[in-house]
Structure 1
Amino acid sequence: MPPKPPRPPARPVPKPPNAPPGPNPPKLPPKPPRGVLKPARGIPKPSIGPPKPLRGPPKPFAGPPKPLKGPP
């Protein structure tokens, strides 16, 4: 199978007469590099304030264990 011929270059976008000289500016702002603004996964962000309890309040004691039902 013969290789594909290279694609022709894209047509330049015509500029309006009141546009400044030079190349067209990019339509989208450049993306920030990865890993700069957001911390990596698995690293918790430091929280401000007192530490929160991981579990709820302790449950009241339920008493001694109940005997199993059925024949011994």
Structure 2
Amino acid sequence: MVLAFGRKNDEEIKLEETKIWVCNSENCKCWVRDNFKSNDVPHCPICKSEMSQTTKELQVIHNHSKNFM
């Protein structure tokens, strides 16, 4: 038996290679999209460790906030 709540989203989910920042701490799994970072070289918002830049295949999300540009 399959129950469905609501309509299926007909819009295709667009994925693309996205720049992200990952926490360097072994005990933390936090990561932040590059277009949502708060500084040029961000620190982890969870544990405050340094972060390194890398890429990940993610759903496209645009940040329109002037605070992060």
* Structure with the larger RCO, 1 or 2 (CA within 8 Å, 6+ apart): 2
The answer, yes or no, to whether TM exceeds 0.5 is no
Which has the larger Rg?
1
Q: Normalized per residue, which structure has more helix? A: 2
TM superposition score normalised by structure 2:
0.20
State the TM-score, normalizing by the size of structure 1. 0.19
